[in-house]
Chain A
């Protein structure tokens, strides 16, 4: 007989992982269902990894509330799970008088949002903080508590904690439809998947880019529509890290937060995102002209970047909707919570959204038996400013030389962890292997050997030749 879960979470992005953690710790029997072979395969795979204070979030919004709750919880828990925090601070830079004219409004909004520590900087003050910025800088607002985190280790930690405290995960599993049996007092969902039926009393839709489609499949309709918005990024080599200490924010417009230049937790400087609406929910391809535009943008603001090679390019797709706010709804009659339209701020808001889900259940008098004690996993550190595995004793072999990834780290990510990598992408996100300046020139052969037979799609393919090479 199949198990009946209290809660089935559909979608293994950062929001699903955070909800799985929160509800497991709250005592619920949780299953997380993900259609890909690993977590973070959709919107959560490409973002800017900034932990925002929400100084410019929509006033009095759920987004603001969840961002600030999520921010506070991350600061609270990150050390206990060995998750990194890079206290960069941010400069909101004005490059024209028109931009500078918006400063007052930004300060007022920030104060209304409870972010009271913004500071106006003169050109000289801003240049003193960031001497490599272009002379075209007019003025800046300092936002001291905007920070940078590891966008992949954090959600991995959340789901790892859920699993180590009893949650189940189902990968390569796609929800095709569902039937709600409300004849029983609590109500029971029978979810149809490509891997059979799953029973759960409550559902949390964290399907991100597919959130509206999931609701349509199950209910025949969705009260929101995902409008995929692609964001491309260019990453500069680690030598660039000397050139910028703060996150360099643009003056936001109505449509987007604009293009940011930011230090990454891995010791690089990155620039992005673009913001292009597109039909496809899956097409995370990059476009030469956009990459060139981002590159030129970065060099315009920080001229010395022209001496630094580009390490990587990537794109992510934000699950924006036809409206500008989160689309969160608890369909109480149908035991169905939808967390829709969680756009670029989701990485900051995820832990806060999870708190919100718990409060939605509490409001309905739905309570679980909170775990008497819980396990807290310690995550492997990939941040450049904290001791890495290669700096610890017992290193047998460094496999990826650009990112200094040890064989021990790769073995652990493949076999020795609660949530082993389910794909090459998953392995890269867990270890950083091949994500450096040579992009696998030196280590692909060794990685092909180490990962052989581990994934559905591997580096090496089967040869047509009768006998192997010699």
Chain B
């Protein structure tokens, strides 16, 4: 059910209805914890996979290849069938001591006292601003997440001939999303001598006829109202201008962890994640964290225990890994109740 009345307390509040959050909710519910609430700030549940109208999701869980959209839908249906309460359009505005959450929803501002809280707020890509890229601040500069939202959720496109920056797994998703939207990228660039992930990028770039320039970075973005061109720079310092009407910055994931950063909870300022023990428990024992907010998708150059360019991942593993971790942390939460 999608609840409309806000409750004042619960056993477990889960922040975020992506794979980690929903998996935890289902695990807890099946284990007999009834008073669970999933808090979702968007008007639809499902998290980031919901933006991904392309494959390949859910293989591990459903034994077949799904689009992100179908995968998210399946997850949410399973949760709703179990009677899990998912509150949409509900934003957590502060994490208080001992599980006291400040919320805003269509019912206004309220507080929720949760015995345990699972932080499953996911991850996002680093925007152009935080990458210190030179040039104009024109229309047409986005991350993959924004592009996917436009193409799959709103049937709109923000550009027709963009430059794609980055060669991570998500950059492959960007190619698929462009294909879906009828967008023809002018090129894909990577600062390093090799793509971050090899097979899908070579395969994707070849499949869609997108030139891949390695050891190439942006020297300057040019555009008055809208992006008009980008000056590219090679490792040898050679520059060339390429006409395009947008720039898509892909990857360099950073946890969506501002709530934690602004709170009393210990924060790892190297990974931008909440500090957790082996159980996924935070410094305030009422709080746990799971999924990409714990930097499961490592930022390029960081200690990448999950995948590297020499150890290419399978796209399905990313959301699958969040799903697994959500379930594991849920069991730890369960155990904490019996202690």
Whether chains A and B associate is yes
Check B156 against A445 for contact (C-beta < 8 Å): yes
Check B153 against A288 for contact (C-beta < 8 Å): no
Query: Which among A282, A391, A437, A449 is the interface contact of B258 at CB below 8 angstroms?
Result: A437
List, in ascending order, chain A residues with CB within 8 A of B220's CB: 285
Check A395 against B106 for contact (C-beta < 8 Å): yes
Check B139 against A457 for contact (C-beta < 8 Å): yes
- Residues of A425-470 contacting chain B, CB below 8 A: 437-442, 444-446, 448-449, 452, 456-461, 463-465, 468-470
- Residues of A279-310 contacting chain B, CB below 8 A: 282-288, 291-292, 295, 306-307, 309-310
Query: Which among B133, B137, B151 is the interface contact of A284 at CB below 8 angstroms?
Result: B137
- Residues of B248-287 contacting chain A, CB below 8 A: 254, 256, 258, 261-262, 269, 272
With A and B bound together, what is the CA distance between A239 and B258 in angstroms? 8
Check A287 against B182 for contact (C-beta < 8 Å): no
**Chain A residue nearest in CB terms to B223:** A285
Kindly supply a per-residue 1/0 record for chain B positions 195-234, scoring 1 wherever the CB is within 8 Å of any chain A CB and 0 otherwise. Answer: 0000000000000000000000000111011100000000
List, in ascending order, chain A residues with CB within 8 A of B139's CB: 424, 457-459
Check B134 against A288 for contact (C-beta < 8 Å): yes
- Residues of B49-70 contacting chain A, CB below 8 A: 51
Least CB distance, B160 to chain A, in whole angstroms: 6
Which of A96-104, A250-258, A361-369, A396-404 has 4 or more CB atoms under 8 Å from chain B?
A396-404
B238 contacts the other chain (CB 8 A): no
B168 contacts the other chain (CB 8 A): no
B190 contacts the other chain (CB 8 A): no
Check A461 against B157 for contact (C-beta < 8 Å): yes
List, in ascending order, chain A residues with CB within 8 A of B151's CB: 469
Kindly supply a per-residue 1/0 record for chain A positions 386-409, scoring 1 wherever the CB is within 8 Å of any chain B CB and 0 otherwise. Answer: 000011011111100110100000
A238 contacts the other chain (CB 8 A): yes
Check A282 against B224 for contact (C-beta < 8 Å): yes
Which of B20-28, B29-37, B120-128 has 4 or more CB atoms under 8 Å from chain A?
B120-128
Check A469 against B182 for contact (C-beta < 8 Å): yes
A82 contacts the other chain (CB 8 A): no
Least CB distance, A27 to chain B, in whole angstroms: 38
List, in ascending order, chain A residues with CB within 8 A of B152's CB: 469
With A and B bound together, what is the CA distance between A468 and B155 in angstroms? 7
Contacts A288-B133, A401-B41; is A464 near B160 (CB within 8 Å)?
yes
B237 contacts the other chain (CB 8 A): no
Check A396 against B106 for contact (C-beta < 8 Å): yes
**Chain B residue nearest in CB terms to A457:** B225
Check B109 against A391 for contact (C-beta < 8 Å): yes
Interface size class of A (residues with CB under 8 A): 35 or more
Secondary structure type dominating chain B contacts: mixed
B132 contacts the other chain (CB 8 A): yes
List, in ascending order, chain A residues with CB within 8 A of B256's CB: 438
Kindly supply a per-residue 1/0 record for chain B positions 280-302, scoring 1 wherever the CB is within 8 Å of any chain A CB and 0 otherwise. Answer: 00000000000000000000000
**Chain B residue nearest in CB terms to A312:** B129
B143 contacts the other chain (CB 8 A): yes
A358 contacts the other chain (CB 8 A): no
Check B180 against A469 for contact (C-beta < 8 Å): yes
**Chain B residue nearest in CB terms to A306:** B269
**Chain B residue nearest in CB terms to A315:** B137
A313 contacts the other chain (CB 8 A): yes
Least CB distance, B296 to chain A, in whole angstroms: 18
Check B137 against A439 for contact (C-beta < 8 Å): no
B159 contacts the other chain (CB 8 A): yes
Contacts A395-B104, A395-B106, A463-B157; is A239 near B262 (CB within 8 Å)?
yes
A237 contacts the other chain (CB 8 A): yes
Check A287 against B145 for contact (C-beta < 8 Å): no
Check B258 against A445 for contact (C-beta < 8 Å): no
**Chain A residue nearest in CB terms to B180:** A469
Q: Which 3 A-B pairs have the closest CB atoms?
A: A445-B149, A439-B127, A307-B269
30 contacts between A and B (CB under 8 A): A237-B258, A238-B258, A238-B262, A285-B137, A285-B222, A292-B132, A311-B130, A313-B129, A395-B105, A395-B108, A397-B106, A402-B258, A404-B104, A437-B127, A437-B258, A438-B143, A439-B143, A441-B124, A441-B125, A441-B142, A441-B143, A442-B149, A445-B149, A446-B149, A459-B139, A460-B157, A461-B159, A461-B160, A461-B245, A464-B182
